[in-house]
Structure 1
Amino acid sequence: MGSGTTGAAKKHQKRRPQLQPKKSIAKNKTKDKKKKSSKGNSKRNQKKNGSESETPFVKVERVIVERPTISQQLTFLIHHYQSANGQLSSLELDSLKETCIVEQGQDAPGNLVGDLKVAFGSSWKEVLCEKHLQEGKVEPGSPALLVISSSALRSLELLREFRSLTGDCHAAKLFSKHMKIEEQVSALKNRVNIASGTPSRIKKLIDMEALGLSRLAVIVLDMNTDVKGYSLFTLPQVREEFWNLYKSYFHQPLLEGRIRLCLYGPMILNLGEKKRKQRKGA
């Protein structure tokens, strides 16, 4: 009996798995960590020695330019258009020339009225200041100059700059804040030389055929940023409304040379692009 019991106990002991001591487990984990760290170090050393290729990158220097050149304004416009709407065709890019942009004086920033007088030439007073309708030539509700801003407050601020031009023929305020659309439709039944507003309300009035485009020659795009750093091209909802308006009514006339743009205000431009070259040992 005793020997049989001892044999069964031995068999039972053989079946039990041998547990690894805690110390040995800790040692194995330490070894694994050392292996991983050594692999990471070897990869870093390979990069330093140039044996492994480095991914090229582009470093862009962003600069705020108070008085951008015509070329810079055009590049800025194309960049933001394509960022919001996709690539322009080669035909469209060829049509977007520097003549599409109103030249601004380089002596002192902020002289918007002076720049626009130059843009309209010797007839600026007749086009921007006269108050009478002329059948077949000056239709009601058709401004020669349209200012587009990101907010009603900014639209009003810009209209103050045109006080010297709007004494006889009042400018049209085309935004929704504190303004009923019926009042704006009524005002647009008279002669309008200068209008200022936000993209959503401007498009709505054009869609209603209250705001005409037969005389439109220059569009001022306000590049001023708000307290949060947003502008007409970057404020999310306004940005979408603007490009919807632009594509619907202004893009084709711009390509055909029937209107010009004035990008007014400081711009953040990408200058001095530098590319890191891939190492020869890659």
Structure 2
Amino acid sequence: TVAVKTSKLRDPSDDEALEKTNENKTATCQDSNSKPAVKKKRKQPTECFLSQPEEKRESTVKAKRRKKKISDVLQKSAPKPGVPADLQNLLTQHFGENRSVIEIEELKLSDSCFLPANDLTHSFSSYLKEICPKWAKLRRNHKEEKSVVMLVLCSSALRSLELIKSMTAFKGDCRVIKLFAKHIKIKEQMNMLEKGMFHIGVGTPGRVKALVEQDALCLNATKYMILDWNWRDQKLRRMMDIPEIKKETIDLLEKSIIKLCRDGSVKLGLF
């Protein structure tokens, strides 16, 4: 009877069931252990993605620092006043590759074509008084329409307005016309030049060149042409450092002004 009871307690089917449950547990343990490995693999691309913006930020910071260094150098460097040789060199460099030696010689101006250059000690009014001591007489004798006695070229409309305000001590009773494109249509300027009498024109090379090409502005009565050569904008650029202004100024000089200077009717000044 004892043997029979022990055989019933240790049934082989029970042993197989225990083995199966143990196998299932090990399988689940293995699955649970394998999950963290999958999560680590998913984190890898996110880590690579996060490293890219940091590199971009470093490059932009370096670029900004470089720009600041360049501006610092320009600010610390002592400004040098423009001289007639600077304009001559500019014309030679601009036309040197496309013109013959004879054509370049025709663009050269003698020292007698230039007024005394600004040595950076003058205001605009004091400079005009120095180069044009007989302004009152020239102003009274000027009676031609569509023309001005003095033409002032600068880089922008805002700079033109600044120069007009700063010449109050010089201009006296003369009339000044604004020759730039901002807020003023070219047809309005053409009508003003045709109907009115003006002594000084202040504006940008592009608008002045357009008026000359359309015969709205005549330069036969012009005696002085002043270039706002030394002034610098917020980016520390002079008018000849701006590509568009430089090209338009050189075109105007080549087509209209240089011939008048060589003939002795127009004097050039660098303010």
* Same topology, TM > 0.5: yes
Q: TM-score, normalised by structure 2?
A: 0.62
Question: Does 1:127 find its partner at 2:142?
Answer: no
For residues 32-51 of structure 1, what are the alpha-carbon distances to aligned partners after superposition, in whole Å with 9 as ceiling and x for unaligned?
Answer: xxxxxxxxxxxxxxxxxxxx
Question: Does 1:82 find its partner at 2:92?
Answer: yes
Amino acid at match of 1:112: F
C-alpha contact 1:169 1:191 (8 A) present in aligned 2: no
**Counterpart position of 1:235:** 242
C-alpha contact 1:148 1:196 (8 A) present in aligned 2: yes
- How many residues are matched? 189
Which of 106, 111, 135 in structure 2 is aligned with 1:98?
111
Distance 1:181 1:91, change over 3 A: closer
Which of 227, 233, 247 in structure 2 is aligned with 1:226?
233
Q: Any idea what SS the aligned residue of 1:65 has?
A: coil
C-alpha contact 2:128 2:170 (8 A) present in aligned 1: no
CA distance in 1, matches of 2:164, 2:109: 28
Which of 244, 247, 255 in structure 2 is aligned with 1:248?
255
C-alpha contact 1:140 1:190 (8 A) present in aligned 2: yes
Question: Does 1:177 find its partner at 2:182?
Answer: yes
* C-alpha RMSD of the superposition: 2.4
Q: Any idea what SS the aligned residue of 1:64 has?
A: coil
For residues 134-156 of structure 1, what are the alpha-carbon distances to aligned partners after superposition, in whole Å with 9 as ceiling and x for unaligned?
Answer: 7xx62112111100011111111
Q: Any idea what SS the aligned residue of 2:151 has?
A: strand
Aligned-residue offset at 1:246:
1.2
Distance 1:211 1:79, change over 3 A: same
Aligned-residue offset at 1:178:
0.7
Question: Does 1:64 find its partner at 2:79?
Answer: yes
Structure 2, unmatched stretches of 5+, are 1-76
- Structure that is richer in strand per residue: 1
- Structure that is richer in helix per residue: 2
C-alpha contact 1:205 1:211 (8 A) present in aligned 2: yes
C-alpha contact 2:180 2:208 (8 A) present in aligned 1: yes
> What does residue range 110-259 of structure 1 map to in structure 2 within 5 Å?
110-121=122-133, 123-128=134-139, 130=140, 138-166=143-171, 168-188=173-193, 189-223=195-229, 224-259=231-266
Give percent identity, aligned residues only.
Answer: 30
Amino acid at match of 2:189: Q
For residues 202-261 of structure 1, what are the alpha-carbon distances to aligned partners after superposition, in whole Å with 9 as ceiling and x for unaligned?
Answer: 011112211111211111101212111222212011111111111111111122222111
Amino acid at match of 1:222: D
Q: Which has the larger radius of gyration?
A: 2
Q: Any idea what SS the aligned residue of 2:169 has?
A: coil
C-alpha contact 1:232 1:242 (8 A) present in aligned 2: no
Q: Any idea what SS the aligned residue of 1:220 has?
A: strand
Amino acid at match of 1:115: Y
Aligned-residue offset at 1:125:
0.7
